Amino acid sequence: MKTSLPLLAIACCAFAACTQLPPEKPAVTASQPGVLQELLPTLANSYEDRIKLGTFAGTFLRPVDPSLKPYFANLRDRSRALLDELKPLAANAKVDLRTKRSNDLESRARPIMEKRQEGFARAANQADFERDMLMHMYQESEWLACLIEAALPDVQDASLKSYLQKAMKAHRDMADETKTQLRRYKLQPAS
């Protein structure tokens, strides 16, 4: 299927706004295992963003189609539950969930990109906002599930491993639900 360059640019911008590629640098302490110090803050940051999106999508601040309100409420509730379960596990693993930006090029560019993407999201009309956020959530859900899958072989703690398996399934399920919602949008080539 062909898409026009402006439509492709919008899709790329939408993807960049919510994904965690690459993740921000977490605050590091000497006792943190390498894979967990990258993964857990990335998950926590994503859940916090999803809670905000799920809270504001569908309000007068950011109206959405009534049929999407349950989707965004579910996104918020699942993310809140996953974050609430993650916090004590991270504390037990001595992993700081706060992210700390380093001074490398990617870390300096990230706030610039986030500010631009926030402006695009605020300026988008309702249909574009809905479509773009659904594309964000699909890409991010897939990405987070892949991050977890890549990290699982390195996780030794049984309770943390169980949580990550549950979170990976939740992200795969959310990607499937998002894909179902995306079927309402048909990207057509420009005439």
Q: Do residues 163 and 85 touch, judged by C-beta distance below 8 A?
A: yes
In the predicted structure, residue 64 carries a pLDDT above the cut 60: yes
Q: Report in angstroms the alpha-carbon separations of 73 from 19, 34, 50, 67, 128.
A: 20, 33, 10, 11, 19
Instruction: Give me the pLDDT at residue 20, please.
Output: 47
- The pLDDT confidence band at residue 141, using thresholds 50, 70 and 90, is very high
Percent of the chain's residues with pLDDT above 90: 46
56, with CB counted inside 10 A (0-12, 13-18, 19+), is middle
- Whose CA is closest to 141, among 114, 168, 107, 181? 168
Contacts of 130 (CB under 8 A, 6+ apart): 64, 65, 68, 185
State whether residue 57 is helix, strand or coil: strand
Q: Please tell me whether residue 155 adopts helix, strand or coil conformation.
A: coil
Within the chain, what is the greatest distance between any pair of CA atoms?
58
Please name each of the domains of the chain with its CATH number. Answer: 5-182 (1.20.1260.10)
Helix (H) or strand (E) holding 46: helix 34-56
pLDDT above 60 for 13: no
**Residue position matching structure tokens 């006792």:** 31
Amino acid at 98: R
* 70-97 confidence digits (pLDDT tens): 999 999 999 999 999 999 999 999 999 9
Residues 6+ apart with CB under 8 A from 1: 187, 189
pLDDT at 10 over 70: no
Q: What is the reported pTM?
A: 0.75
Interval 18-30: pLDDT, tens = 444 444 544 433 3
pLDDT above 60 for 17: no
Residue 37, pLDDT above cutoff 70? yes
Q: Distance between CA atoms of 151 and 117, rounded to whole angstroms?
A: 29
Question: Average pLDDT over the chain, rounded to whole?
Answer: 81
Q: DSSP assignment, residue 26? A: B
